[in-house]
Amino acid sequence: MHRFVVFCLVVACALPAACGDAGDVDAGRASSADDVRVAVAANFADAFDEIAADFALVRPDVRVTASVGSTGALAAQIASGAPFDVLLAADVERPAQLQERCLVVPGTRFTYARGRLALVGALLADVPDGERALRDERVRHVAVANPSTAPYGAAALEVLRTLGLADTLAAKLVLGNDVGQTMQFVESGAAELGFCALAQLARHDEIPRWLVPAALHAPIRQDAALLRDGEPARALLDFLRGPQAALVLQRHGYGVEE
C-alpha cells in the first residue's frame, strides 16, 4: 500500500499565552495553510496511515504530515510548543490536560476510537491462555510500554495487578518507549511476551496473541483534539469521524464510538 503519511521531526515554537478565539490558537503557524501536522499515538500509526491515504483521495490539496510516538511524549512536545494541528491520543486524560492549558481549540475534543489490549509472543502458540503464559517459568522478560507515557502500558500494568502478577513479574518487565518498541522487543526475541495494541496485529496474522479481556483493565478511550484551527485540519477530523474511517478502525480492531 502506498504510504501517504510523512513522518517528520518536531520543531518547537512559542506557546499561546492564554485561551482565546481560533485566531489566537493558530498564532505562530509558519507552514502552508494546506498542511495538516498530526501527532499520532504509536498504537494508531498503521490505521492512521490508511485513513490519511483515503483522505488524500478526497482532499488532494491537503498535505498530511504525521509524527508518531507515545501519547505522553507527544503531549509534552505540544505543551512545549511543538506546532501540531491535530492530536490523536491513546487516552482521554492528556487531551483534557492540554485543553485545561488552553492548547486545544474549544469544543473540538472527541473520542475517535476504543482500543483493545493484546498479549503477544511465540509462547502463546503452546500456552494460548494469557494468564497461564504469564505464569510460565519459561518467561524471562515481559515487554510493556512505559506506563508513565503510554496508556497501553498503563493498561498492561493494571492487567498484571488484576491478575495478581504485578509483584511476581516486576523484575521481568522490559519497558519500551511506546507500543511500537514493545512489539520490536517481542519480534527480536528480547522478550518472550509483550503487551501491545490489538490494532498493531492487523497485518500480522502469524503472531500468536491473546486478546486481553476488557474486564481486566479500564476502558482505553482514545481522544482527538484540534490544536490549531484551520479548515484542512477540521476536514481531517470530520473525515476521521465518518463512515470510511470507521471501516478502517474496525478492520484494525478498534471499537467505534456510537
pLDDT by residue (tens digit) across 85-135? 999 999 999 999 999 999 999 999 999 999 999 999 999 999 999 999 999
pLDDT by residue (tens digit) across 171-193? 999 999 999 999 999 999 999 99
- Give the Å distances, CA to CA, from 172 to 60, 91, 144, 175, 188: 48, 26, 10, 10, 16
Specify the CATH number of the domain 117-211.
Answer: 3.40.190.10
Domains 6-114+221-251 and 117-211 share a fold: yes
Residue 7 has pLDDT above 50, yes or no: no
Residue 29 C-alpha cell reads as 503557524
Average pLDDT value for residue range 139-156: 96
Residue 34 has pLDDT above 70, yes or no: yes
* Most confident listed range (14-23, 27-36, 63-72): 63-72
pLDDT at 123: 95
Mean pLDDT over the full length of the chain: 89
pTM confidence score? 0.84
More reliable by pLDDT, 186 or 27: 186
Specify the CATH number of the domain 6-114+221-251.
Answer: 3.40.190.10
More reliable by pLDDT, 23 or 148: 148
Domains of the chain by residue range: 6-114+221-251, 117-211
Q: Is 244 left (phi over 0), alpha (psi -120 to 50) or beta?
A: alpha
